Chains A and B, each alone.
Chain A
Amino acid sequence: MLHYAMKELLKRSKLYLLSVMVIGLVTLMVITLNSLGVAYKEASRSPFDDIRGTIIIQRNGNVPENVSGVLLSCSLAPIHQEVTSRISKINDVRDISTALSLWVFDAEHFKRVLGVNWSDNFGKKLTSKLIDGSIPKTDREVLAEKTYAQRNALEIGGKIDISGQQFTVVGFIETTGNELVASDIYINLRAAQEMAYQSKNLQEVEAFDKTDVNIVFIDAAYPNVVAVTQQIKQIATSDESNAGKTPLGQTIGNYNIYTPESFENQISAVFRISDKLIWIISLVISVGAALIVARNTLHNILERRKEFGIMKSVGFRSRDIMREVSIETFIQVLVGFAIGLILSAGAIVGLAHTTISIAIPWELSPYPHFLLANPNEANVVQTHLLPIKLEPLYVLSSFLIILVIGLITSFLGTWQINRLKPMEVMRYE
């Protein structure tokens, strides 16, 4: 029967070409579109590689009237230790890191200063970027970002003045400049908290306690990010101190919770496509393909009804003919799937060479745009190669879809062949 099926498909390949091409197209579309969707999700996580976490929490604050001395960056409000402590107790939170991002408007020039706990996950990630020297051991030691250090002729062992206090540069770290929570100077968290606490300007804008921070990084496994985020929102709601609106219309005291999903809308790319659209397209092309393949198969059965009549007359039962038609359908499915798989692999290799850009929200790349000649320079954009690969799940899904199409087709074929009366076919042919 296999031999007969092979001969039929090869000798009358034109009859089956449409079905094979449609099956190939379904495979191509389902695999490529869904792999693209996964790639965008993957890409939206890229900015989080900088922080070893999956959730970032900040809080909107008041805008200072007097921009001088030490201030909380981007008008962020303090997050109290009681809140971070409650968040750390949420199930599925694997780790919690905290930082304090400050803007220091000194007489000579502006500095971004980030207070870091070197023993938490975020601190460890920064440590991995150390290119010279060592991490600060005392509250009077700092790390300088390489570019900033070059621009300001800083050397290891040299001094730097931050808000009237002298600090020793003990090392340099290298960042790409467009990372989340980028800074010029990195100091111990405790020293940054003390600096903020002592700042009159800052205290006039927000009541800052010595243990407060303004950025919290949470590491939760991806499947649990949504659940953890919901619980953080509950904690945040109970902590809200609504006190009017920021100039951008955000409620003061409200928490901003960034997850990879927040970045999905920040991605710009040539082939940007939403999950919903992918599902709709996949569904439409699958249904369309099922109709085309079924119609083509029924048409072919109609074309071959005399042949099936001959087969019945020489002793083929309906089930024998159906076995034959099913083998032919299965071969078409396999060939179409193989073609689609090869095309998908080619498309994915091509797409893997395209780049995507992710705009980082201003609050997460703290630089005061009003200090720049060109304010657009404050807009940080990350560019990544699209992390697309052939997703086994969607290879399997597409195979199951076309298998279902094949089964529907075979079922319709059975119905058609069962109704076929050999003598009628012979008589009217």
Chain B
Amino acid sequence: MSKIVTVNQLSKTLGNIRAIDNVSFDIESGEFLAVQGPSGSGKTTLLGLLAGLEKADEGSILIADKELTSMTEDQLALFRRYNIGFVFQAFNLIPTLNTLENIALPLYPERMNRTDMLERARKAAHDVGLSERLDHYPSELSGGEQQRVAVARSLINEPKVIFADEPTGNLDSKTGEKIIELLHNLNKEKGQTFVLVTHDDKIAKESSRIIRLIDGRIEHDK
């Protein structure tokens, strides 16, 4: 396996708190990595930095041989579009778009043919088992369905790495299990790399690797 993510001496301060403190690690392509730690340990901040949603104060992040820390906001946005998928705890769907359109959202700035765009979204919806709910709006979907839409949206551009921040945090345990199962299946079938922030030890144990953060530092990595 090759390295898809290389993090070197990464630091980030939020206000007066050192949220990430001199962190270094690598992620192999196809890995299913869980990031754990108590509240305030820097898990979400680390994920934000890796996804290019936040700027690092020090250190470097290399994803697919591209250095993120030197990129501008617009370069980061473009990089995210093609290389990174992100699944949020709160689903973060656009309320005025239906399932199909929410899945296709990353394709909107592409100026591509609408039929092709929706066809790709339909395939992604099929992959996450949402073929029957394409015309529904977020308010008409259950929490599990909304998270499936978010997962499908993160897959639409076939990114190399998918980051998921507490993807089951807003779901009941049964629905949460199904979502995790879906992510594992995608990991196996498509070979995509998953980095997952979770409080749930059960989910973490099912991962191929766990990084535990405390006070912004890696406590253990195995």
Closest A residue, CB atoms, query B49: A423
Neighbouring A residues of B81 by C-beta, 8 Å: 314-316
Provide the bound-state CA to CA distance between A313 and B53, in Å: 7
Q: Does B32 contact A (CB under 8 A)?
A: no
Size class of the contact patch on chain A: 20 to 34
The tally of residues in B whose CB lies under 8 Å from a CB in A reads: 31
Provide the bound-state CA to CA distance between A311 and B95, in Å: 13
A423 touches B105 (CB 8 A): no
Contact A314:B97 (CB < 8 A) given known A422-B53, A423-B53, A426-B92 = no
Q: Does B51 contact A (CB under 8 A)?
A: yes
Q: Report the minimal beta-carbon distance from A214 to chain B, rounded to whole angstroms.
A: 76
Q: Does B80 contact A (CB under 8 A)?
A: yes
A288-317 CB contacts (< 8 Å) to partner B: 306-307, 309-317
B74 touches A311 (CB 8 A): no
Closest B residue, CB atoms, query A6: B96
B77 touches A316 (CB 8 A): yes
Interface pick from B106-114, B124-132, B173-181, B203-211: B106-114
B77 touches A310 (CB 8 A): no
B74 touches A12 (CB 8 A): no
Provide the bound-state CA to CA distance between A315 and B94, in Å: 14
Q: Does B88 contact A (CB under 8 A)?
A: yes
Q: Report the minimal beta-carbon distance from A406 to chain B, rounded to whole angstroms.
A: 21
Neighbouring B residues of A319 by C-beta, 8 Å: 74
Contact A313:B80 (CB < 8 A) given known A4-B108, A426-B88 = yes
Q: Report the minimal beta-carbon distance from A1 to chain B, rounded to whole angstroms.
A: 6
Q: Does B73 contact A (CB under 8 A)?
A: yes
Interface centre among B48, B90, B157 (most CB of A within 10 A): B48
Q: Does A68 contact B (CB under 8 A)?
A: no
Number of A-B pairs, beta carbon distance below 8 Å: 77
B97 touches A7 (CB 8 A): yes
Q: Report the minimal beta-carbon distance from A252 to chain B, rounded to whole angstroms.
A: 79
Neighbouring A residues of B96 by C-beta, 8 Å: 7-8, 11-12
Closest A residue, CB atoms, query B117: A3
Neighbouring A residues of B73 by C-beta, 8 Å: 317-318
Selected from B48, B77, B90, B111, the residue in CB contact (under 8 A) with A317 is B77
Q: Does B31 contact A (CB under 8 A)?
A: no
A316 touches B108 (CB 8 A): yes
Q: Report the minimal beta-carbon distance from A301 to chain B, rounded to whole angstroms.
A: 15
Provide the bound-state CA to CA distance between A318 and B76, in Å: 11
B80 touches A427 (CB 8 A): no
A1 touches B109 (CB 8 A): yes
Closest A residue, CB atoms, query B85: A314
B80 touches A311 (CB 8 A): no
Q: Report the minimal beta-carbon distance from A343 to chain B, rounded to whole angstroms.
A: 29
Q: Does A261 contact B (CB under 8 A)?
A: no
Q: Report the minimal beta-carbon distance from A121 to chain B, rounded to whole angstroms.
A: 64
Provide the bound-state CA to CA distance between A421 and B157, in Å: 23
A312 touches B77 (CB 8 A): yes
Interface centre among B73, B82, B92, B111 (most CB of A within 10 A): B92
Residues of A in contact with B (beta carbons under 8 Å apart): 1, 3-4, 7-8, 11-12, 306-307, 309-320, 323-324, 421-423, 426-427, 429
Residue pairs across A and B with Cβ atoms less than 8 A apart, 25 shown, are A1-B108, A3-B101, A4-B108, A7-B96, A12-B96, A306-B92, A311-B94, A313-B51, A313-B80, A313-B92, A314-B106, A315-B77, A315-B78, A315-B81, A315-B157, A317-B74, A318-B74, A319-B74, A320-B108, A320-B109, A422-B53, A423-B53, A426-B88, A427-B44, A429-B90
